[in-house]
């Protein structure tokens, strides 16, 4: 390809395949890589001295919730070296927006950090907008099951009619045909959580007719983790779809021993020919909407209905009892990370237990009262994994490392600011859980192949020049749970499509 040439001289080349790094040069021409390794560089072209620096492919965040932000000016990902993202995860995509747009907003805004203005009719509309306005990343988008379901039948729980099912199948096929990267489910979020196996089987069969991927936030990561993984493996076996289990973990200390069992199940399925893999983020805490802790049928009909139920004493009592029965967390492990109103801003950064003490209430009442006061708009960060388990998932050969990051009206999880540098620094260099080459592979070549980013993810001639130059001796993230909004250190420059982006 013709274009301006640029030489990266004397760096450590980490090519994205997991192979040992080598010293050498890298030449780009226009938006593509022209030569890698040892070659005679043409004379008289601009060069960057990369002595002491590592050069790798641009990082790919294969599980992100920046569906709205990829259209804007935000640079939190780019600063970490991310040049490509997969959005539309966990059943949440910003399309199809139908006459049920208000319900779609209620369903997704806690994850999208959105208002009531967004919405695209189809994957095609969304992707062309991203193409036109997105500045910082190449974006792949999964069609979200929850969004498809709301477009079909509104915020309604339970099995759909056969006409509704057919409509949803049509919408999914249409999304995949017009460029969606795959399909995602979020089976702990109403209304997707109420989908029977047969519904998922029909939808996964459509994915199986393509070379695209099915990603799933499974029905349960705690007490019923094993059954939830079984269900997904069975779906993949029956339909033949390519299966990606999202943010695999065992939540809550009484469930930590279950992780080993499910990893063995995944390995066995892989050995028998199921195309299965999983992903995980390099933190022991997760983050989502506080309504996640509720029995999801309490959200049947949307937030308005939940508000009515919470206002009715006998209903509220039942909700409290059922929430406590299935709660995998201790209240001291659940941090309030965002609220909608300014009146409750003072609770941001407190655990539910601390907020309850402040408010002179039981913890369960604080949780339900906050949900009532905020009309459901509360986000949480929950400390729920063991470090040993985290090490097992991160280092597993089937694992891709992802951020699962999302923006909130409050204090975000530090993964939004630090996932990728933390993997290279804290996880690989400091803890030596894996080599730097393996770490890079898990965020470049591997996700590129898994999610179909053609000509990206590797340092190879003719590949797109998405590149990160970083200092392997210092790269890391200083972002913490109490102070997350801090940029990484050690990322020197980021090139996207051959152009300096950072
Ligand atoms: Zn999820």
Instruction: Measure the CA–CA gap between 306 and 466, rounded to whole angstroms.
Output: 46
How far, in Å, is the centroid of ligand 1 from the Cα of 89? 7
Measured in Å, residue 247 CA sits from the centre of ligand 1 at 7
Does an H or E element contain 437, and which? helix 436-441
CB atoms near residue 268 (< 10 Å): 12
What separation in Å is there between the alpha carbon of 225 and the centre of ligand 1?
14
Each residue's pLDDT, cut to its tens digit, for the chain (502 residues) gives 457 999 999 999 999 999 999 999 999 999 999 999 999 988 899 999 999 999 999 999 999 999 999 999 999 999 999 999 999 999 999 999 989 999 999 999 999 999 999 999 999 999 999 999 998 999 999 999 999 999 999 999 999 999 999 999 999 999 999 999 999 999 999 999 999 999 999 999 999 999 999 999 999 999 999 999 999 999 999 999 999 999 999 999 999 999 999 999 999 999 999 999 999 999 999 999 999 999 999 999 999 999 999 999 999 999 999 999 999 999 999 999 999 899 999 999 999 999 999 999 999 999 999 999 999 999 999 999 999 999 999 999 999 999 999 999 899 999 999 999 999 999 999 999 999 999 999 999 999 999 999 999 999 999 999 999 999 999 999 999 999 999 999 999 999 999 999 9
Please give the pLDDT value at position 2.
56
CA of 313 to the centre of ligand 1 (A): 32
> How far, in Å, is the centroid of ligand 1 from the Cα of 396?
19
Rounded CA separation 421/270 (Å): 30
The Cα–Cα gap between 352 and 357 comes to 9
Considering only CA atoms, which of 212, 281, 220 is closest in space to residue 240? 212
Total-model pTM: 0.96
- How far does the centroid of ligand 1 lie from the alpha carbon of residue 98, in Å? 24
* HEC string for 232-291: HHHHHHHHCCEEEECCCCCCCHHHCCHHHHHHHHHHHHHHCCCCEEEEECCCCEEEEEHH
Unique residue bearing structure tokens 């259209």 = 71
For tokens 């369903």, name the residue.
107
Output the CA 92–ligand 1 centroid distance in Å. 9
The rounded distance, in Å, linking the Cα atoms of 91 and 146 is 5
Say how many Å lie between the CA of residue 330 and the centre of ligand 1: 20
For residues 367 and 352, give the distance between their C-alpha atoms in angstroms, rounded to a whole number. Answer: 7
Q: How far is the CA of 171 from the centre of ligand 1 (A)?
A: 22
Q: How far is the CA of 107 from the centre of ligand 1 (A)?
A: 14
Kindly give the distance from the C-alpha atom of residue 10 to the centroid of ligand 1, in angstroms, as a whole number. 41
CA-to-CA distance for 180 and 70, rounded, in angstroms? 15
Q: How far is the CA of 52 from the centre of ligand 1 (A)?
A: 38
Residue 208 alpha carbon to ligand 1 centre in Å: 22
* Three-class secondary structure of residue 477 per DSSP: coil
Q: Give the total residue count for the chain.
A: 502
- For residue 203, report the distance from its CA to the centre of ligand 1, in Å: 19
**Confidence (pLDDT) at 479:** 96
Structural contact between residues 181 and 141, judged by C-beta atoms closer than 8 angstroms:
yes
- Whole-number Å distance, alpha carbon 316 to ligand 1 midpoint, is 27
The tokens for 444 are 């470049």
Instruction: Give kind and range of the element (H or E) at residue 379.
Output: strand 378-383
DSSP tag of 122? S
Q: Based on C-alpha coordinates, what's the Rg of the chain? A: 23
Q: How open is the CA angle 375-160-275, to the nearest 5 degrees? A: 95
> Residue 468 and residue 492: Cα distance in Å, rounded?
8
Question: Ligand 1 centroid vs 215 CA: distance in angstroms?
Answer: 10
For residue 188, the CA-to-ligand 1 centroid distance in Å is: 8
Residue 187 C-alpha to ligand 1 middle, in angstroms?
A: 9
How remote is the CA of residue 217 from the centroid of ligand 1, in Å? 5
For 365, residues 6+ apart whose C-beta sits below 8 A from its C-beta are 320, 356
Q: How far is the CA of 90 from the centre of ligand 1 (A)?
A: 5
Å from CA of 111 to ligand 1 middle: 10
Closest of 283, 148, 246 to residue 202, by C-alpha = 148
Q: Return all residues near 161 (Cβ < 8 A) that are at least 6 apart.
A: none
Q: How many CB atoms lie within 10 A of CB 368?
A: 21
Q: Name the residue with tokens 């492919």.
A: 57
Element (H, E) at 394: helix 387-395
Q: Distance from CA of residue 49 to its chain's centroid? A: 35
- Expressed in angstroms and rounded, the spacing between residue 169 Cα and the centre of ligand 1 is 22
Measure 378 CA to ligand 1 centroid, in angstroms. 16
> From ligand 1's centre to the CA of 228, what distance in Å?
14
Rounded CA-CA distance 223/200 in Å is 22
Q: How far is the CA of 287 from the centre of ligand 1 (A)?
A: 9
| Cα 191 to averaged position of ligand 1 atoms, centre (Å) | 14
Residue 42 Cα to ligand 1 midpoint, Å, equals 48
């Amino acid at each position: 390809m013709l274009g301006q040439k640029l030489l990266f001289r004397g760096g450590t080349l980490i090519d994205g395949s997991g192979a040992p790094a080598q010293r050498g040069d890298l030449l780009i021409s226009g938006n593509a890589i022209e030569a890698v390794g040892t070659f005679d560089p043409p004379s008289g072209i601009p060069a960057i001295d990369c002595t002491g620096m590592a050069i790798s492919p641009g990082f790919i965040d294969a599980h992100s919730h920046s569906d709205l932000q990829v259209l804007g000016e935000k640079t939190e990902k780019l600063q970490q070296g991310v040049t490509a993202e997969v959005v539309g995860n966990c059943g949440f995509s910003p399309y199809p927006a139908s006459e049920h747009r208000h319900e779609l907003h209620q369903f997704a805004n806690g994850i999208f950090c959105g208002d009531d203005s967004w919405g695209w009719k189809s994957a095609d509309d969304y992707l062309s907008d991203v193409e036109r306005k997105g500045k910082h990343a190449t974006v792949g988008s999964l069609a979200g099951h929850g969004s498809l379901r709301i477009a079909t039948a509104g915020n309604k729980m339970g099995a759909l009619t056969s006409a509704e099912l057919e409509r949803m199948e049509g919408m999914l096929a249409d999304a995949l045909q017009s460029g969606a990267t795959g399909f995602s489910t979020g089976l702990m979020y109403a209304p997707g959580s109420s989908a029977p196996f047969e519904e998922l089987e029909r939808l996964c069969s459509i994915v199986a007719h393509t070379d695209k991927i099915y990603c799933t936030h499974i029905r349960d990561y705690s007490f019923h983790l094993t059954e939830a993984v079984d269900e997904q493996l069975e779906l993949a076996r029956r339909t033949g779809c390519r299966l990606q289990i999202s943010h695999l973990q065992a939540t809550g200390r009484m469930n930590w021993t279950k992780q080993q069992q499910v990893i063995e199940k995944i390995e066995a399925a892989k050995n028998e020919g199921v195309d299965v893999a999983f992903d995980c983020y390099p933190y022991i805490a997760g983050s989502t909407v506080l309504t996640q802790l509720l029995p999801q049928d309490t959200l049947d009909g949307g937030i308005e209905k939940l508000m009515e139920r919470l206002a009715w004493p006998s209903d509220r009592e039942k909700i409290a009892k059922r929430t406590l029965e299935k709660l995998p967390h201790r209240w001291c492990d659940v941090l309030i990370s965002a609220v909608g109103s300014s009146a409750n801003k003072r609770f941001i950064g407190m655990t539910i237990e601390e907020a309850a003490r402040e408010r002179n209430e039981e913890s369960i009442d604080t949780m339900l009262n906050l949900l009532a006061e905020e009309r459901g708009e509360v986000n949480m960060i929950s400390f729920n994994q063991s470090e040993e388990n985290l090490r097992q998932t991160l280092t597993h050969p089937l694992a891709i490392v992802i951020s699962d990051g999302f923006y909130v009206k409050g204090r975000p999880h530090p993964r939004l600011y630090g996932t990728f540098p933390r993997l290279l620094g804290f996880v690989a260099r400091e803890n030596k859980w894996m080599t730097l080459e393996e770490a890079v592979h898990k965020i470049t070549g591997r996700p590129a192949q898994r999610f179909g980013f053609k000509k990206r993810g590797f340092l190879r001639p003719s590949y797109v020049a998405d590149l990160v130059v970083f200092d392997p001796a210092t790269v890391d993230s200083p972002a913490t749970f109490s102070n997350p909004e801090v940029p990484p250190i050690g990322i020197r420059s980021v090139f996207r499509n051959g152009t300096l982006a950072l």
